[in-house]
Structure 1
Amino acid sequence: MTTPSPARARSLARLLCGRRARLRWVHLILGGALAMPYVLVGSVVVGPAMGATNLFGSVPMQFASFGVGLPLAAVTSLFPPTRPLEAGVVRWLCGVDEDRLAYGPARTKGEKGRTAAWFTLHLGLGGIVAGMSLAVPPFAAVLIVLPVFAGLRDSRLGLPAVFDQAWALALAPVAGAAMLVALAGCAAGCGALLARWAPALLGPSAEDRLAAAEARAADLAVRNRLARELHDSVGHALSAVMLQASAARRVLDTDREFAREALAAIEDTTRRTVGELDAVLGVLRDGDAPGTAPAPTLAADLDGLLRRTRAGGLRVTATVAADPAAVPPLISREAYRIVQEGLSNALRHAGDRAAVAVDIEVVDEHLRITVENPLGEAGAPRPGGGHGLRGIADRARLLGGVARAGAAEGTWRLQVRLPLKGSV
């Protein structure tokens, strides 16, 4: 099924005179304007060499000056601002996607060579289209109105003698309109050619793509780390506060001392969590490097973590056979989060009166963390563990350690080994 003629005509009109074609035409006109100083410099060379006194009266001399000026344009394109400026103009006027262009100065020989080729091509095609845009429309307008204004044939416009004949005079408007269409087609074709070649000549090099990929990977690593921090900190706090509040409500009338301790633990937990949340959000706002957000460590807050957990009714037994102060800071921080997540799992799944055993020791230059608790009232093993266990596995893997979790004989066991050798 063929496209109706009116639709094809509209499609052709958009191709030649649509918004994108007009913007690309403007881009070519700017190239022609940039080419003028180089043409003038070329005329200074061509004039004395050819013995000409009126270069602008000779078309061959103008083309010769243009040809001499383009190599000069290629040399000046080596200045650092050229590629960023050209890329910005190409993005807005030629409709090239932003991620297909490079906006930094050309550094390597290959980048400088491609920039020089682009600048020369832009000025060369722009000079030709700009010259046609100045010369063709007035001449085409004269041809279109020539049959109406017969006096134009006798003026000093330099019209060919053929227009004295009736058939040529009748075809003059058609020739004028065809010249305008040809001009629009030439501008649209040159604009499309520049838009097609722009990514190859002004686009990022392999080194730029690699650097961008590394930057994206680093940003993703930061976001993943912050997501783990928020999950472990806020998730544990919400679980602890929920159980502490529940325990306080149940014994409010019978054990006021325990209720006061639970409320004090809620206050302490929320205060610390708000501080950690503010630190993590500060990293997001300021774009700090990974790990700059302050986080608690075994040496700084293990006792406080156990105390706040017990305040919710969970019976926690801790055996610490390692000196928390001797553990490297990075390992100590990650180990704290692992213990925190293990206790959070116990709070959520084992019940608020369950007995939890935490064991921290050094075995074969590894820090071994074990958290055990009952499976809960249903007595059934839990499914995969969700984001918490995945986060523990990620923390251990990034430090070169291993993490295992599973159910056996009615007990859920989490065991993590973190290497101490070579840690800072």
Structure 2
Amino acid sequence: MPTIAALKSAVSGTAAPGSRAPGIVAPLTAGATYARLLHLLVGWIFAGIVLMVYPGTGDKGLGEILMKSIALDTVLLALAALIPAARRAEGVQARLLLVPDREEDIATEPSRTWADRRRTAGWVIGRVALGSAVGFALVFALTAGYQGLTGPRALWYLPLSPLMALGSGWFLVYAGRLQLAMAVRLLGPSPAERLAEAELRAERLLERNRLARELHDSIGHALTVTVLQAGAAREVGDPAFVAKALEVIEETGRRAMDDLERTLVLLRETPAGANGVATEQPGIDQLPALFDTARAAGSPVDARVEVPPGTLPGVLSRESYRIVQEGVTNALKYAPGEPVDIRIAVRDGLLELSCANRLPGVGRSADGTARASVGGAGRGATRKGGKGLRGIRERATLLGGEATAGTSEDGSGQWVLTVRLPLRLGT
């Protein structure tokens, strides 16, 4: 069985690691060399057919025959290059027979601009010209070699025949490489196509990042609630409380599975995902269920949502839900059991979201200022921005807004997440 390295060497024309074939001989035995030779000979055959049809090989002079044949070849090839599909056909054929290192270096898209047509015309004319030159040179070399080996000077030609064969083989190798270089230059993606490809890659990267944030927010919230409920049920031991905790865990897990299924539909790029089926994302109107989950986990939630129905665009509603979800998840994770204060309102063309919770271990002194108990201040005060907060900032930035998070400056000992988003996206 051939190894992967050997198969790769057969395509690229290089010797495989551990191969005993000398470097000077390896390209002569590579399949890519002969595939490229076939591509060259196709161009020569086209020129030969045109030559036979017109001007023919009658009693005209050789110079006249060649000039008329070249002129007719050029006109026919230039006219063919005007057809948009010609670029696609040539690109597919070049990918198959010229064996480029990267297939994307040779485009397979139809011509869309006159620049594409001009480059295609240059390619087909150059291809036929180079193929004709290689074809005639090959015929001349074979004829000269045969005559030399069968003629009266056969004893002189016989010792030189290996060098002549080696020289002819390397001539074909370099001709094929020149043909490939021409294809990359003339059939390669145009600047507009490269820009479109770069934009497509950027869109895919942004989509992957968005899906990663969706999974992080949804699954992270579900796992946090599940861990808190399971721990509380084990500590309390009350059958009624355990039953309620299991109910919350079940409901949270079901929602997480729904979110996971929606994300997988998008990742699979199925028709269902393309048509929006089973991909509806939760919006700001579903926040009450989120708050109920947090309350069931043991953290009181005081929520005030002052957003008239229909005020928010769909994307803003969905992203706002995820931002609040991550804020609540952080509160449950870093300050379990502490009250969570949620404020959402529309003011001066902005959607303002605020999520505040008291840091664990922070009490009140007699004068009303925050006071850290021994061993407790460090836990809340040293909270650092992880993936959740970074995801919130990314969401806010993409929506044209801003997000800040940190301990409050009024001495209340609270951790406050504040997000401001414009109602009109892009402003």
TM-score normalized with structure 2 length:
0.81
State the partner residue of 1:296: 282
State the partner residue of 2:396: 396
Does residue 37 in structure 1 map to residue 49 in structure 2? yes
| Structure 1 residue 320, shift from structure 2 partner | 2.5
State the partner residue of 2:126: 121
Aligned positions of 1:83-232 closer than 5 A: 83-96=87-100, 97-144=102-149, 146=150, 163=152, 168-174=153-159, 176-177=161-162, 179-232=164-217
CA distance in 1, matches of 2:161, 2:62: 22
- Amino acid corresponding to residue 213 of structure 1 in structure 2: A
Q: Is the 8 A contact 1:83 1:105 kept in 2?
A: yes
- Amino acid corresponding to residue 66 of structure 2 in structure 1: F
| Structure 1 residue 138, shift from structure 2 partner | 4.8
Q: Is the 8 A contact 1:276 1:294 kept in 2?
A: no
Match for 1:28 among 14, 23, 40? 40
- Amino acid corresponding to residue 327 of structure 2 in structure 1: G
| Structure 1 residue 115, shift from structure 2 partner | 0.9
Cα–Cα, structure 1 residues 383 and 200, in superposed 2: closer, same or farther, change >3 Å?
A: farther
State the partner residue of 1:327: 312
Q: Is the 8 A contact 1:225 1:290 kept in 2?
A: no
| Structure 1 residue 65, shift from structure 2 partner | 5.5
| Structure 1 residue 142, shift from structure 2 partner | 4.2
Mark the runs of 5 or more structure 2 residues left unpaired by the alignment. Answer: 1-18, 362-375
CA distance in 1, matches of 2:165, 2:78: 31
CA distance in 1, matches of 2:156, 2:402: 87
Cα–Cα, structure 1 residues 64 and 363, in superposed 2: closer, same or farther, change >3 Å?
A: closer
| Structure 1 residue 344, shift from structure 2 partner | 0.3
CA distance in 2, matches of 1:349, 1:63: 85
Give percent identity, aligned residues only.
Answer: 36
| Structure 1 residue 124, shift from structure 2 partner | 1.5
Cα–Cα, structure 1 residues 67 and 174, in superposed 2: closer, same or farther, change >3 Å?
A: farther
Larger Rg: 1
Cα–Cα, structure 1 residues 64 and 184, in superposed 2: closer, same or farther, change >3 Å?
A: farther
1:206-256 residue CA offsets vs partner (Å, 9 max, x unmatched):
11111111111111221121111111111111111111222222223x3x3
| Structure 1 residue 64, shift from structure 2 partner | 4.2
Does residue 77 in structure 1 map to residue 97 in structure 2? no
Cα–Cα, structure 1 residues 15 and 326, in superposed 2: closer, same or farther, change >3 Å?
A: closer
| Structure 1 residue 189, shift from structure 2 partner | 2.6
Mark the runs of 5 or more structure 1 residues left unpaired by the alignment. Answer: 1-6, 147-152, 154-162
CA distance in 1, matches of 2:251, 2:198: 42
State the partner residue of 2:257: 274
- Amino acid corresponding to residue 82 of structure 1 in structure 2: A
Moved more, 333-342 or 187-196: 187-196
Q: Is the 8 A contact 2:349 2:423 kept in 1?
A: yes
Q: How many residues align?
A: 384
State the partner residue of 2:341: 357
CA distance in 1, matches of 2:137, 2:68: 17
Cα–Cα, structure 1 residues 340 and 251, in superposed 2: closer, same or farther, change >3 Å?
A: same
State the partner residue of 1:420: 423
Moved more, 232-241 or 318-327: 318-327
1:15-40 residue CA offsets vs partner (Å, 9 max, x unmatched):
45544333322221222233333223
Question: Higher relative CO (CA 8 A, sep ≥ 6), structure 1 or 2?
Answer: 1
CA distance in 1, matches of 2:203, 2:125: 38
SS in 1 for 2:404: strand
- Amino acid corresponding to residue 85 of structure 1 in structure 2: A
Q: Is the 8 A contact 1:296 1:333 kept in 2?
A: yes
CA distance in 2, matches of 1:191, 1:303: 69
CA distance in 2, matches of 1:76, 1:422: 48
CA distance in 2, matches of 1:186, 1:60: 26
Q: Is the 8 A contact 1:28 1:126 kept in 2?
A: yes
1:255-291 residue CA offsets vs partner (Å, 9 max, x unmatched):
x333222221111111122112111111111265699
Cα–Cα, structure 1 residues 397 and 290, in superposed 2: closer, same or farther, change >3 Å?
A: farther
SS in 2 for 1:209: helix
State the partner residue of 1:150: none
Query: Could you say what the CA RMSD is over the residues aligned between the two structures, in angstroms?
Result: 2.8
State the partner residue of 2:386: 386
SS in 1 for 2:340: strand
Q: Is the 8 A contact 2:400 2:426 kept in 1?
A: no
SS in 2 for 1:336: helix
Q: Is the 8 A contact 1:324 1:332 kept in 2?
A: no
SS in 1 for 2:355: strand
State the partner residue of 2:373: none
CA distance in 2, matches of 1:359, 1:421: 20
State the partner residue of 1:14: 26
SS in 2 for 1:11: coil
State the partner residue of 1:158: none
TM-score normalized with structure 1 length:
0.81
Aligned positions of 1:248-287 closer than 5 A: 248-252=233-237, 254=238, 256-286=239-269
